[in-house]
Chain A
Amino acid sequence: MKRTGDSAPRRPDDAQREVPLRVLADVPLEEEVVLVRMDVAGDDVVPLLEQGIVPGCKLCPVRHSPAGGPIVYRVDGALVALRRETASCLCVRSALEAAGVLDSN
């Protein structure tokens, strides 16, 4: 496995100023966004990371579950359900706006 030098792990605060950030929970269905920052404390973030929800990944809300339950997101070709409160800790930017800044995928 090789490490390429030019794309160092993305720092959360890199390109934030250019596009306003939103929380994932507020993104309407079918809008694709790029994850910028995760405001989850300590190791609690690991279950998210393990599902590929890592800064730089693309997320797209596809479905609300009944009675304000978890929201289903598409990430890396898979479906992952997150509670609203968790989705509120994830800061995202519209994928279109971000295209110039991050060339993810």
Chain B
Amino acid sequence: MNPGSASATLPAEAAERTSADANHPLVALVGPPNSGKSTLFNNLTGLRQKVANYPGVTVERRSGVADSDAGPVEMIDLPGVHGLSPRSLDQTITRNALLGELETDRRPDAVVLVLDATRLRSHLMVAEPVLGLGLPTLVVLTMADELDRRDGALKSARLSRDLGVEVALVNARDVGTLEPVRRFLTALHTGGEEARACPIVAAADHLEGHPSGRSLPVIDVFAARRERARELGHSAGFRAPRPSRFTNRLDAIVLHRVWGPLVFAVVVGLVFQAIFAWAVPLMDGTESLIGASGKFVTGVLPDSWFRALLIDGVWAGVGSVLVFLPQILILFFFIAILEDSGYMARAAVIADRLMHRVGLQGKSFLPLLSAYACAIPAIMSARTVEDDRDRIATIFIAPFMTCSARLPVYALLIAAFIPAGPLLGPFLGRRTAVLIGLYALGLLAAVGTAALLKSTLLRGRSMPFVMELPPYRWPSARSILARLLDRTKVFLRRAGKIILAVTVVLWILAQFPRTPAGAPPEIGDSALGQMGRVIEPAIEPLGFDWRVGIGLVTSLAAREVIVGALGTIYGVETEDDQDFELRAALQQDLDFGAAVALLIFFVFALQCMSTVAVMRRETGGWRWPILQFFYMLTLAYVGAWAANALL
């Protein structure tokens, strides 16, 4: 990029260009993590937002439309950054988005730089590279309320004069204080003078790491930046806020020698309780809703191949995944509260010691906790782990955590093969014990694998563990709602695409080749059945037959699909697909050893193509996903074989 030419981009010109595109001005929200970008974004756009991925990577791109007095403005909420060097995936995306180097996005017409006023000196370090872009910029200093409450001070007018761009001191959670931001957005339409670029394009190191930039030792770059930030703060009469007393008092408990780990255990216990116990009625409700709507559709449509496809394929397949939505939302609800309140950072500190012992670190805690709902968001959230080796190790072991997709499989097999009854008096039933055992087995494999990886492939000195502990805050309902909506959209899109495709293909394979009379074939003679027989020799040592084989193949789409698939397979055979019948059919088909083998296979195997795909994107190649797939498959196969042979 040429800073000189870019700084000549006047707002009027910008508006002209975008109107020529028949588009609104594009404004990018930039700033360090936790500075209040998303809060500001939500309050400016309402819930009129879109979530998508940047091409080729799993970084989410959130965009929305905000209103100004002169017309709508398109906003994007860029990933949080501390600078613009291409140091991490998030930082690279933000940098490329700002430079207009993404193929899909045009270059933003203006920037809203969001900084936390209570951390002015560290956050101003980001100002330099961003202002150096030469785009019309508004600096929004958030947390005005906290600065005030904790006796900090700042003259934003003076800072504005020194920086040469508008500066607004706001409370991002209070829409009433956002007037200056709206004025800036209006100025983008009208060419008002609020929307101006920094007149002095900063020193040549403004994009450290940029090919044209001088390469200074990185410490010197930051030291110089911090010095200038300090001077700016000094000149603007910045008085750092005193530490928050509330945070201090709460930390005394949360990080206490004894209470700290206790609070941690209670919080983790609560999350699990919520996912597994409280989610059940919601999941049951969803299930009956899907069932009822399926029946309704069956009643309305005439009997035809189309209805069969719709009900047996689409409804059964997509329905079997939709059932998990409540559970996943509950998990994300808790994660949102834990993150927004500030507890998650403390949990990472508490967990660090333990995780360090198996070669990981505290920042792996959140991804691994999320993995109990689904490995995909878990793998994506592992991006907060700065150390690349730790990040890969975290991603690699995430699928060992028992995701909710395994639950229906466990539930089905346990109900079919483990007799109900007490194990330890009234407290622990036999079935519950087996379920806990399966979870423990997965965790054990994860820990062992992490230790193995970190002492072999991923050996090496690790980066320093640096964890920012934000002050405790009340989570805002609005931001939590926005996050849950996000998750729902992403999840539904996935369920819609992949699962739909697989179940439809599966159903069609079961319909052909037609019998001479033109009827659907016996399932064993269908294309699906023939495929099952091809795999049969490979899985025979585990005690499985071709039916389970087909189930295993289909479960590659997503683990829980096997339940629907077995339902289809046995259902197609017996013309009846009641739950009870499925259990009875399995009891006939598998002996006890084979059932345990199947359970163990599901604990270990990576039967989820979406995970493999996300893994490829996040590690930037096929090496890790392929290794992971075969590693997990080997463990699964050997484990299942041993179970079948011994029992």
A residues within 8 Å of B by Cβ?
1-4, 7, 9-10, 38, 40-41, 43-57, 62-70, 72, 74-83, 86, 89, 104-105
Give bound CA distance, A2 to B295, whole Å: 72
Residues on the A chain within 8 Å of B222, using CB: 49-50, 54
CB proximity to A under 8 Å, residues B323-376:
345, 349-350, 352-353, 356, 362
Q: Could you say which residues of chain B place their CB within 8 Å of the CB of A41?
A: 461
Pairwise interchain contact A49-B231, C-beta atoms closer than 8 A: no
- Could you list 21 examples of A-B contacts with CB < 8 Å? A2-B162, A9-B227, A41-B461, A47-B386, A50-B82, A50-B122, A52-B122, A54-B226, A65-B255, A65-B353, A66-B258, A67-B353, A70-B352, A70-B467, A77-B119, A79-B251, A79-B468, A81-B352, A82-B466, A86-B464, A104-B230
Contacts of B232 in A (CB 8 A): 1
Which residues from chain A contact B227 at a C-beta distance below 8 Å? 7, 9, 56
Set B152, B224, B243, B465: member contacting A70, Cβ < 8 A: B465
Residue ID in chain A nearest B227 by CB atoms: A7
The contact of A44 among B228, B261, B464, by CB within 8 Å, is B464
Residues of A within 8 A of B461 (CB): 41, 44
Judge whether A9 and B223 touch: CB under 8 Å: yes
Give the residue name and chain of the A residue nearest to B122 (CB).
A52
Q: Which residue of B lies closest to A41 (CB)?
A: B461
- The 0/1 profile, CB within 8 Å of A marked 1, for residues 78-103 of chain B is 00001100010000000000000000
Are the CB atoms of B256 and A66 closer together than 8 Å? yes
- How long is the Cα–Cα vector from A80 to B471 in the complex, in angstroms? 11
Which positions 197-229 of chain B face chain A at CB distance < 8 Å?
A: 198, 200, 202-203, 218-220, 222-224, 226-228
Q: Which residues of B contact A (CB under 8 A)?
A: 32, 82-83, 87, 118-122, 125, 127-128, 131, 152, 162-164, 198, 200, 202-203, 218-220, 222-224, 226-228, 230-232, 240-241, 243, 247-248, 251-252, 255-258, 260-261, 345, 349-350, 352-353, 356, 362, 386, 461, 463-471
How far, in angstroms, from A55 to B221 measured CA to CA in the complex?
Answer: 11
On whether the beta carbons of B119 and A76 are closer than 8 Å, the reply is yes
A86→B223 contact, CB < 8 A: no
Chain A residues near B223: list those with CB within 8 A. Answer: 9-10, 54-56
Whether the pair B350, A81 counts as a contact (CB closer than 8 A) is no
Q: Are A4 and B231 in contact (CB under 8 A)?
A: yes
Q: Which residue of B lies closest to A38 (CB)?
A: B219
Are B251 and A77 in contact, with the CB atoms below 8 A?
no
**Residue from B227, B248, B257 with most neighbouring chain A CB atoms (10 Å):** B227
Closest CB of chain A to B118's CB: distance in Å? 5
Chain B neighbourhood of A105, CB < 8 A: 230, 240
Closest 5 CB pairs of A and B: A52-B122, A50-B82, A86-B464, A79-B469, A49-B222
Which A residues are CB-close (under 8 A) to B228? 1-3
Q: Kindly report which residue of chain A lies nearest to residue B83, judged by CB atoms.
A: A50
Contact B349–A65 (Cβ < 8 Å): yes
Q: Is the CB of B350 within 8 A of A69?
A: yes
Chain B residues whose C-beta falls within 8 Å of the C-beta of A74 in the assembled complex: 243
Evaluate contact between B469 and A72: CB separation under 8 angstroms. Answer: yes
Asked if B125 and A69 sit within 8 Å, CB to CB, the answer is: no
Residues of chain A lying within 8 A (CB to CB) of residue B353:
65-70
Pair count A-B, CB < 8 A: 164
Cα distance, A51 to B33, chains bound together (Å): 11
**Nearest-CB distance from A84 to chain B (Å)?**
10
Q: A52-B122, A70-B349, A78-B118 are in contact. Are A83 and B230 (CB under 8 A)?
A: no
Task: From known contacts A66-B256, A69-B352, infer whether A81 and B219 are also in contact, taking CB-CB under 8 Å.
Answer: no
Q: Note all chain A residues with C-beta closer than 8 A to B198.
A: 1
Taking CB atoms, residues of chain A closer than 8 Å to B162 are: 1-2
For B467, the chain A residues whose CB sits under 8 A away are 70, 80-82
Given contacts A65-B260, A69-B352, A76-B122, contact A49 B218 (CB under 8 A): yes
In the assembled complex, the Cα of A7 lies from the Cα of B119 at a distance in Å of 22
- The reply to whether A80 and B468 form a contact with Cβ atoms under 8 Å apart is yes
Q: Report how far A66 CA is from B248 CA in the complex, Å.
A: 16
Give every chain B residue within 8 A of A79 (Cβ-Cβ). Answer: 243, 247, 251, 468-471
Q: Which residues of B contact A56 (CB under 8 A)?
A: 223, 226-227
Q: Is the CB of A1 within 8 A of B122?
A: no
Contact across chains for B121 and A52 when beta carbons are under 8 A apart: yes
Residues A9 and B464 in contact in the complex (CB < 8 Å), given A43-B218, A78-B118: no
Q: Which of A4, A49, A52, A72 contacts B251 (CB 8 A)?
A: A72
Determine the distance from Cα of A75 to Cα of B484 in the docked complex, in whole angstroms: 33
Instruction: Tell whether, in the assembled complex, residue B163 and residue A1 are in contact, meaning their CB atoms are under 8 Å apart.
Output: yes
Residue among B121, B257, B261 having the largest count of chain A Cβ atoms under 10 Å: B121
Whether B352 lies near A83 (C-beta < 8 A) is yes
Q: In the bound complex, do residue A2 and residue B200 qualify as a contact, i.e. CB atoms below 8 Å apart? A: yes
Q: Is the CB of B349 within 8 A of A9?
A: no
Contact across chains for A81 and B224 when beta carbons are under 8 A apart: no
CA distance A93 to B464 in the complex (A): 21
Question: Whole-angstrom distance between the alpha carbons of A81 and B542 in the complex?
Answer: 49
CA distance A14 to B248 in the complex (A): 36
Complex Cα–Cα for A39 and B347 (A): 28
The answer to whether B219 and A57 touch across the interface, beta carbons within 8 angstroms, is: no
Residues of A within 8 A of B241 (CB): 77
Pair A78/B466 contact, Cβ less than 8 Å: no
Closest-by-CB residue of B relative to A77 is B240
Residue from B118, B128, B219, B471 with most neighbouring chain A CB atoms (10 Å): B219
Q: Hey, which chain A residues are within 8 Å of B261, CB to CB? A: 66-67
* Complex CA–CA separation, A89 to B127 (angstroms): 28
For the complex, give the distance between the alpha carbons of A55 and B220 in Å: 9
Give every chain A residue within 8 A of B252 (Cβ-Cβ): 63
Residue of A50, A63, A68 with most partner-chain B CB within 10 A: A50
Task: Please name 13 further chain A to chain B contacts, defined as beta carbons within 8 Å, in addition to the given A54-B219, A81-B468, sorted by A numbering.
Answer: A54-B223, A55-B223, A66-B256, A66-B261, A67-B353, A69-B349, A70-B349, A72-B349, A72-B469, A77-B120, A78-B470, A83-B464, A83-B465
How far, in angstroms, from A69 to B361 measured CA to CA in the complex?
Answer: 11
Neighbour of A81 across the interface among B248, B349, B463, CB < 8 A: B349
Q: Give the CA-CA distance A55 to B87 in the complex, in Å.
A: 21
In the complex, A75 Cα to B577 Cα: how many Å? 63
B390 CB to nearest A CB, Å: 12
- Closest A residue by C-beta to B264: A66
Of A7, A45, A46, chain B has the most CB atoms within 10 Å of the CB of: A46
Q: Are B224 and A9 in contact, with the CB atoms below 8 A?
A: yes
Provide the bound-state CA to CA distance between A39 and B203, in Å: 27
The answer for the CA separation of A67 and B82 in the assembled complex, in Å, is: 31
How far apart are B408's CB and chain A's nearest CB, in angstroms? Answer: 38
Q: Which residues of A sit under 8 angstroms from B218, Cβ to Cβ?
A: 43, 45-46, 49
CA distance A2 to B202 in the complex (A): 8
How far apart sit A82 and B356, CA to CA, in the bound complex (Å)?
13
Chain A residues in 8 Å Cβ range of B219 = 38, 45, 49, 54-55
Give the residues in chain A near B386, CB-CB below 8 Å: 47
